[in-house]
Homo-oligomer: A and B are copies of this chain.
Amino acid sequence: MEIEIATIGGYEEVGRQMTAVRAGNDVVIFDMGLNLSQVLIHDNVETERMHSLDLIDMGAIPDDRIMSDLEGDVQAIVPTHGHLDHIGAISKLAHRYDAPVVATPFTIELVKQQIESEQKFGVENDLVKMDPGESMTIGDHGCELEFVNVTHSIIDAINPVLHTPEGAIVYGLDKRMDHTPVIGDPIDMKRFREIGREGEGVLCYIEDCTNANKKGRTPSENVAREHLRDVLYSIEDYDGGIVATTFSSHIARVKSLVEFADDIGRQPVLLGRSMEKYSGTAERLDFIDFPSDLGMFGHRKSVDRTFKRIMNEGKENFLPVVTGHQGEPRAMLTRMARGETPYELDDGDKVVFSARVIPEPTNEGQRYQAEKLLGMQGARIYDDIHVSGHLNQEGHYAMLDALQPQHIVPAHQDLKGLSGYVKLCEGEGYHMGRDVHVSRNGNLIQLVD
């Protein structure tokens, strides 16, 4: 059976991930993501109203025109988790394919919400839920799609595996190797090891190279949790305002914040549009059991009403968890920093960034400004209470050891970013150009012909 891989997007950058695997006549697409930074560099761009081709030209979504070179039928579109760089182009591209979107329940829910807000295209693909650990048949020629549970900075993340008669294709984006993940099950390394050893073994492994140049091990979410606990407990006696911010989609972190707020005698409140969206969805789908009285507010009016209530009832009784960890100009924390909300910061108030600045001058500039404005109001900053969601080098070694793939395709980085991974693979006996395939957006890799 012919096996071919189309590296469509996210092979020269982080963002707009899209990969297609053809096994004989059956094609599966993994991820359809958005590169948000290509959008934000322009002022006043509203992606909801834009056409795919314009977004492709901007480098914002994958250029899927190479799909016409792939002979076969798309059987499924499989986003691996709910981050925008993996699902953000579904509303722009999925309607071109006569295939269902197959994903875990949380991811499907986020895809659904995205399709609903789309204003240019009508996307009517079926949305099919499949849980980690489950499988489904793909086409009529013996292929099967399996979801292996992994751990990442969002819940319900999986690595899809396409079992073919020629061996398994493991799509490894995105994950961290976490054995104590705070929410959900640990990464299913046992299953990866089985896949590496059963049947024809692993024909090809497509890997998340985000941290490929970082040595050592990415710590467990539990380490971030203990760090966060240490910070919040240390200010237990403070009788003024404490505000926290983190990635809205990072439900495990939000959970820790909510719990520690309670531990130090403060009522947590989630504020900001995406804060409400992700946590609300997670709660509705029973991924998390928040206290019944936990407030979540997204619309500006209800947020401001909540701030007023907090000011009336005493800041010392609340822990607002807000958007704005990167200093985004329109996020809640930045509005607070500019004094545009009813929440008044006083000398000595604490702002806890349970996030790291994404190391890019635009973010660094915006975060710097947000922190400066917060500082002008007397606020004090706790920073970097965070762990990455991506494998460092020791995780890569462990995956190679578990899967023992015949071929490797590094993804989710540009050439510089994935260089460490190539070196690592070569240290394990692979060779670039032979079985390590460094690809570019728009290339085809023929594995079996």
Contacts and interface: CB of A to CB of B under 8 A. Distances in A.
A415 B179 CA distance: 33
Given A41-B369, A365-B364, A432-B440, A348 B397 contact: yes
A423 B440 CA distance: 10
Nearest to A221: B230
A68 interface: no
A25 interface: no
A426 B423 CA distance: 23
A338 B45 CA distance: 13
A226 interface: yes
Contacts of A431: 440
A227 B234 contact: no
Nearest to A215: B381
A197 interface: no
A255 interface: no
Contacts of A365: 361-366, 368
A427 to B, nearest CB: 8
A37 to B, nearest CB: 9
Interface in A416-437: 416, 418-420, 422-423, 426, 431-433
Contacts of A414: 419, 423
A404 interface: no
A43 B363 CA distance: 18
Interface string A258-301: 00000000000000000000000000000000000000000000
A48 interface: no
Interface of A: 12, 41, 43, 177, 179-180, 213, 215-217, 219-220, 222-223, 226-227, 230-231, 233-234, 338, 348, 360-369, 372-373, 376, 380-384, 393-394, 397, 414-416, 418-420, 422-423, 426, 431-433, 438-440, 443
17 contacts: A41-B372, A177-B234, A179-B233, A215-B382, A216-B381, A217-B234, A222-B226, A348-B397, A361-B369, A364-B365, A382-B394, A415-B418, A415-B432, A426-B440, A431-B440, A433-B439, A438-B438
